[in-house]
Amino acid sequence: MKIIKLPAVLYKSLKKSRSAGKTIGFVPTMGALHAGHLSLIRQARKENSIVVVSIFVNPAQFGPKEDLKKYPRPLNKDLALCRKERVDFVFSPRPEEMYGEGFSTYVNVERLSETLCGKSRPGHFRGVATIVAKLLNIGQPDIIYLGQKDAQQAIIVKRMARDLNIPVKVKIMPTVRQRDGLALSSRNAYLDKKEKKDALVLSAALNLAKLFIKSGARDASRIINRMKRVVNKKKSSRIDYIAIVDTASLKPVRKISGECLIALAVRIGRTRLIDNIIVRA
Ligand code: AMP
C-alpha cells in the first residue's frame, strides 16, 4: 500500500494504472474509519483492480463554529485498517496542499445544497462538492463509492457528476448500523454512554415511520409529528429537522406515494447526528 501526500503524485501513479488497463475505485473519507467506511472499501475492492482511499478532514465543509479542530484523526489506525483491506493507495494530503494560497474556485450544486443539512450548515455542501470534484480530477476513478448514511451528500455528488460531465459512476452503499440500530459515524465517538443510548431515538423514529407507512399511513406531516414525539422523549435531544422528501429533488412530500427519503438531524447533547431511510409505499 502506498501512502501519498501530494495530488500530483497520486495523479501520476493512477495515470500509470489507467494506461495499464486497470480500473480504479475511489473511496473518499475523513478518516476515523469504522465498519461503514470498510463496507465501501470492500465493495471497491471487489469491483476494481485498484482501490484508492482518501483520508482528508476537509476544512471547506466545516462551518466556523463546527468541530474541524476536534474531529478525530487516528491516522495510524486508519492506515492499518486500509492495509488489512488491501487498499492500493491512501491519499492523505495536508490542507495547504488542497487549498493553496489564492484558492478561489468552488463547486456549488444549487437548490439540493440549500435544504435539509444545508439549512443549518450553510456552505457545507459547497465544501463537499468542491473537495469531491478535486478528488475526482486528481484520481479520475471509474467508480466512486459513497454511503447512504449521508444521503443528501450522495444525491449532490451524483448531480454534480452529471451536471459537470465528470465521467465517473457513483455507487451508493447501504448504511451500516450497530446491532441496536445506531448508524455508525465517526462523530459517535463524541457521545458518552448515556448519549449513546439516547442516540437510538434517530433510528427508532425512522423505524416507526417505516412501520406507519407499511400499515397505510400516507400523510407526511402526521408521520413527522409521530417521529418528533419519539425523538423528544429524550432530554438530551434537540431536533434540527425531520423531513420526508422526494429522493431526487429533495423537495418535501405531502402525500407519500412511490419512493421517498425520510431524513433527520438531531443534536444529542453537543453532537449533531444524522440518519435516514428510503421507503417505498
Ligand atoms: P466520512 O468519513 O464521514 O466523510 O464518510 C466517508 C464516506 O463513508 C461517506 O460516503 C459516508 O456516507 C460513508 N459512511 C459514513 N458512515 C457510514 C455508515 N454508517 N454506513 C455506510 N457508509 C457510511
**112 and 46 in one domain?**
yes
pLDDT of residue 11: 98
Rounded Cα–Cα distance for residues 276 and 99 (Å)? 32
Catalytic residue numbers, as ranges: 37
User: Which atom from ligand 1 is nearest to the alpha carbon of 33?
Assistant: 2
Answer yes or no: do 127 and 264 share one domain: no
Instruction: Tell me, yes or no, whether 16 and 148 share the same domain.
Output: yes
For a mutational test of ligand 1's pocket, the pick from 51, 136, 149, 176, i.e. the residue with the most ligand atoms closer than 8 A to its C-beta, is 149
Q: Euclidean distance between the first and final Cα of the chain, in Å?
A: 45
How many A from CA of 37 to the centre of ligand 1? 5
Asked if residue 281 is part of any domain, the answer here is no
167 falls within a domain: yes
- Identify whether 181 is part of a domain: no
Compute the distance between CA of residue 248 and CA of residue 129 in angstroms, rounded to an integer.
17
Q: Which residues partner with 272 through β-bridges? A: 267
Domain extent at residue 54: 2-173
**CATH number of the domain bearing residue 14:** 3.40.50.620
Q: How far is the CA of 238 from the centre of ligand 1 (A)?
A: 23
- Ligand 1 centroid to 277 CA: how many Å? 14
* Pair 169, 199 in one domain: no
Do 212 and 150 have their domain in common? no
Cα 185 to Cα 276: distance, rounded to the nearest angstrom:
13
Q: Residues 48, 103: one domain?
A: yes
Is the residue at 180 inside a domain?
no
pLDDT of residue 95: 98
- Asked if residue 8 belongs to a domain, the reply is yes
- Look at ligand 1, atom 17, and give the residue with the nearest C-alpha: 36
Same domain, 120 and 76: yes
- The CATH number covering residue 198 comes to 3.30.1300.10
Same domain for 13 and 51? yes
**How many Å lie between the centroid of ligand 1 and the Cα of residue 222?**
30
Q: Quick one: 19 and 154 in the same domain?
A: yes
Burial per residue of 215-247, b for 16 or more beta-carbon CB atoms within 10 angstroms, e otherwise? eeeeebeebbebbeebbeebebbebbebbbbee
Q: Which of 173, 205, 230 is the last residue of a domain?
A: 173
pLDDT of residue 38: 99
**6 and 120 co-located in one domain:** yes
Closest residue CA from atom 12 of ligand 1: 147
**Whether residue 18 is found in the same domain as residue 153:** yes
Q: How many domains does the chain have?
A: 2
Residues 122 and 243 in one domain: no
pLDDT tens track of the chain, all 281 residues? 999 999 999 999 999 999 999 999 999 999 999 999 999 999 999 999 999 999 999 999 999 999 999 999 999 999 999 999 999 999 999 999 999 999 999 999 999 999 999 999 999 999 999 999 999 999 999 999 999 999 999 999 999 999 999 999 999 999 999 999 999 999 999 999 999 999 999 999 999 999 999 999 999 999 999 999 999 999 999 999 999 999 999 999 999 999 999 999 999 999 999 999 999 99
Ligand 1 pocket, CB under 6 A: 29-30, 36-37, 39-40, 146-147, 149-150, 173, 175-176, 183-186
Last residue of a domain, one of 130, 145, 173: 173
CA gap 138, 99 in Å, rounded: 14
Please, are residues 174 and 148 in contact by the beta-carbon 8 Å criterion? yes
